Structure 1
Amino acid sequence: MINNEFLETLNSLLSRVPEKERQEMLYDYQEHFEIGCADGRSEKELAEELGDPNVIARELLADYLISKAETDQTATNMFRAIFAAISLSFFNIVFIVGPVAALLGTYLALCVTSIALTLSPLGIIASSLMGYSTETFAFSFFVSLTLVSSGLLMSIGMIYVGKYFYYLILRYIKFNLRMVKGDKAG
C-alpha cells in the first residue's frame, strides 16, 4: 500500500511532465520497490530510504525542465528551468537570480545600445536637413554610415552573445542543481 501511495503522490506531483517522460521517471521507483520487496524488505522501509516524494518530484522536474531548455532553446524554457532550480531551496535564490539578473541586464543593455547605434543616423540626417547642424552634409552622411555599420555589427554580435549567455546560464543552473543535490562529479 505504501508503494502505491508513494508512486501516486510522485505521479501527481509530476503531472506537468508529459505522460511518456513521467512513466520513464516513475519506472525507476517502481523497480526500486519491486527489487526491495523481492529481497524481503518492507515497503515502508523502502519508501523511507527513497525520501520525501515532494523533494524527489522537485528534483525530477528541475532535471526535466533543464533538459528541455537544452533541446528547445527558448526564453520560456530557460525561465522555467531557472524557477525549477530555485524551487529546490531558498539558498538558490541568491545564487541563481543574482548572476542571471546581472547577465540578463548586461545583455539587454548591449542590445539597446546596438539598436540605438543602428537608428541614430536618422536623427543626424533629420537634424542636418532641418538646419540644426552646422556640419556639411557629407560629414553627416559618413558619421551616419559609421553609426549604422557599428550598430549592425553589434546587433549581429549580440545574436551570438545571446546564444552564449543562454548556454552559460544553463550550465550554471546545472552546476547549481548538482551542488544542491550533493553530486560531486560534473
Structure 2
Amino acid sequence: MDKTQFLNELGVKLAGLEPEERFEILADYEEHFAAGAVSGKSEQEIVFDLGSPDEIARDILAGRGEAAVEETYYVPRPAPTKKRGAAGQFGVFLAMLIPNIVVYSLLLSFWGVVLGVAGSALGFFLTPVAFILDVVVNHSFVLYKFFAVIASLGLGFIFVVLTMWLVKAMVLATVGYTHFNIHLMKGERKHV
C-alpha cells in the first residue's frame, strides 16, 4: 500500500467526522509521510510503521464515541443452474449424434497421425541398429551411410519434439470436446 492508497482508505473510514476534522487528521498523516521520506523510508515502510488505516480510524472514532463506517460489499451469487432431465438429455444426444460422430472420427484420425509421427521417430532412432547390422553382415563400412544415420538421428529428435507437441494438443482437444459434450448434456451454461 502506498501513501495515496493509505490516505484514501483512511479518509473513507473517517467519513463520519466533520470535513474540517477529517482534513486535519489526514494532513497530520501526510506530515508523517513527509517526515518518513526525509529520513529515507519508503512509503511502504511508513505505512507499516503507522499501521492499517482501519485500526487508526477505529481508534480515532472510538476516542470520539463514534462507530467506524463499514464498507458493504456486493457478492454476486451464481444463478441456480437448471439441469436437463432424462428426456432433455436424450434430445441433446440425438441432436449431437451426427456432429459427435464427425468430430470424434476426426479426432481419431488425428490420433492416427500422432501415432504415425511417433512411429517415424522410433524408426529414425532404430537406424543405428540397422547400420550396425549392415556393417556386421556385409563387412563393409560405407561413409555416406554413416552420415545418413547421423542425419536420421537428428530427424528422430525433431520428430520426438513434434510428437510431444502433437500429443499435448490432441489431449487438450479430446478432453475439451468431451467436457463440452458432458456440460451440454447436463444443460449447464458453462461449456468449457
TM-score, L = length of structure 1: 0.45
Q: Which has the larger radius of gyration?
A: 2
Q: Which has the higher helix share?
A: 1
